[in-house]
């Protein structure tokens, strides 16, 4: 029929995506502190028309396209209860793009769109680990414009996504022992528990090369370094580094699959497909061997969540750090 659309974008999401809702003041680590908050042009134009004292305050706190942060990198519109004053005064629709969308992310590969939630958000991590089955993904049609791909690029994309799907299916196959799944996807075995490195010290050395995002990471890294160097009780030798036991097999398969989901297909644009696969293994190993050191002082039920959150904030939100890690792991 004339005017009928012939092609639709396929939208893929992880099984917990639609459960997400910002927990606002209940969050122990609000995203309104510690991040530079860029304001998109449409929002900035809208803020220029807000009248009254609040409108004046809005404009006074915008500089060079972002909010002027208060001491300790606190958003000027985060009130004493850790609630957003822009939301309270003007409604959700007045939030700038990054505030409305965070921690959501989107990737587009031709006529396939993939959405997810960044693991820098403790509620996203909680939902990831809330699932008691291996991670699954939903797919549906959506009315979004596709990115142009020629036939050759589409063929390469389909091959990359097929390889990734094979990894998902292998990690999710509970008929296969967990150790065998790890070997099939990553070549990983217990004979080298710190793979893709030869030792815990080598694994931590890569963490030390990356620029810190802030004091919370500095403290976590110091705790990790102290554990690496700490002697065991009687003989003065370095303590053996072992899995701290917070991640079940299901937790592990969901985390590994999710990291592959977020990063692997980007090899279409960036290359380093082996490095992107190994990034998931590296992240998981750091998280499980140094769970308490990453999490710091928090209630037991939040240790696993906080460990993944702080590691994600340090590694996944800086292009230079991701490139450093992936290049190192791609060798």
User: How far is residue 142's CA from residue 114's CA, in Å, rounded to a whole number?
Assistant: 11
8 A C-beta contact, residue 119 and residue 127: no
- Count of beta carbons in the 10 Å neighbourhood of residue 102: 18
What sign has the CA pseudo-torsion 172, 176, 177, 181? Answer: negative
Spatial neighbors of 150 by CB under 8 A, at least 6 apart, are: none
User: How far is residue 224's CA from residue 204's CA, in Å, rounded to a whole number?
Assistant: 8
CA dihedral angle for residue 187, residue 225, residue 119, residue 82, rounded to 10 degrees: 170
* Res 121 pLDDT > 90: yes
Band of the pLDDT at 36, cuts 50, 70, 90? confident
Spatial neighbors of 176 by CB under 8 A, at least 6 apart, are: 170, 184
pLDDT (tens digit per residue) in 126-145:
999 999 999 999 999 998 88
Helix locations, the chain, DSSP H: 41-47, 52-60, 85-90, 97-101, 122-130, 151-172, 178-186, 200-209, 215-229, 249-263, 267-270, 273-289, 291-295, 303-315, 319-329
- pLDDT of 47 reads 93
Cis geometry, peptide bond prior to residue 215 (ω within 30 degrees of 0): no
| Cα angle for residues 136, 139, 145 (degrees, 5° grid) | 140
8 A C-beta contact, residue 236 and residue 229: no
Band of the pLDDT at 24, cuts 50, 70, 90? confident
Q: Kindly report the pTM of this predicted structure.
A: 0.90
- pLDDT of 30 reads 85
For 57-82, the DSSP string reads HHHHTEETTEE--BGGGB-TTB-TTS
Band of the pLDDT at 146, cuts 50, 70, 90? confident
Q: Residue range 303-325: average pLDDT?
A: 97
With a pLDDT cut of 90, the percent of the chain lying above it is 79
Between β-strands 112-117 and 9-14, what pairing exists: parallel, antiparallel or unpaired? parallel
**248 Rama class: left (phi>0) / alpha (psi -120 to 50) / beta:** beta
| Cα angle for residues 165, 259, 219 (degrees, 5° grid) | 170
Q: Tell me the CA distances in angstroms from 110 to 8, 152, 154, 165, one per residue in order.
A: 11, 12, 7, 17
């Amino acid at each position: 029929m004339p005017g009928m659309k012939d092609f639709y974008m396929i939208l893929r999401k992880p099984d917990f995506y639609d459960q997400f809702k910002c927990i606002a003041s209940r969050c122990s680590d609000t995203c309104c502190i510690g991040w530079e908050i860029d304001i998109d042009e449409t929002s900035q134009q809208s803020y220029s028309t807000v009248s009254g004292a609040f409108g004046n305050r809005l404009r006074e706190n915008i500089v060079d396209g972002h909010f002027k942060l208060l001491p300790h990198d606190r958003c000027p519109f985060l009130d004493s209860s850790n609630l957003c004053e822009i939301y309270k005064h003007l409604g959700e629709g007045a939030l700038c793009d990054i505030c409305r969308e965070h921690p959501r992310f989107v990737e587009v590969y031709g006529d396939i769109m993939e959405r997810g939630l960044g693991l820098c958000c403790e509620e996203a991590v909680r939902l990831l680990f809330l699932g008691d089955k291996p991670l699954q993904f939903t797919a549906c049609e959506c009315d979004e414009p596709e990115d142009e791909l020629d036939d050759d690029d589409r063929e390469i994309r389909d091959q990359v996504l097929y390889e990734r799907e094979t990894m998902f299916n292998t990690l999710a196959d509970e008929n296969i022992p967990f150790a065998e799944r790890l070997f099939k996807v990553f070549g990983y075995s217990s004979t080298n528990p710190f793979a893709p490195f030869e030792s815990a010290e080598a694994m931590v050395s890569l963490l030390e090369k990356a620029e810190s995002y802030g004091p919370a990471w500095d403290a976590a890294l110091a705790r990790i370094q102290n554990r690496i160097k700490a002697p065991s009780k009687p003989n003065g030798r370095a303590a053996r580094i072992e899995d701290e036991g917070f991640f079940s097999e299901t937790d592990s398969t969901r985390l590994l699959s999710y990291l592959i989901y977020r990063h692997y297909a980007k090899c279409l644009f960036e290359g380093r497909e082996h490095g992107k696969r190994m990034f998931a293994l590296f992240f998981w190993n750091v998280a499980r061997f140094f769970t308490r050191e990453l999490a710091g002082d928090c209630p037991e039920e939040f240790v696993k969540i906080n460990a993944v959150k702080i590691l994600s904030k340090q590694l996944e939100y800086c292009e230079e750090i991701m490139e450093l890690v992936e290049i190192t792991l791609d060798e």
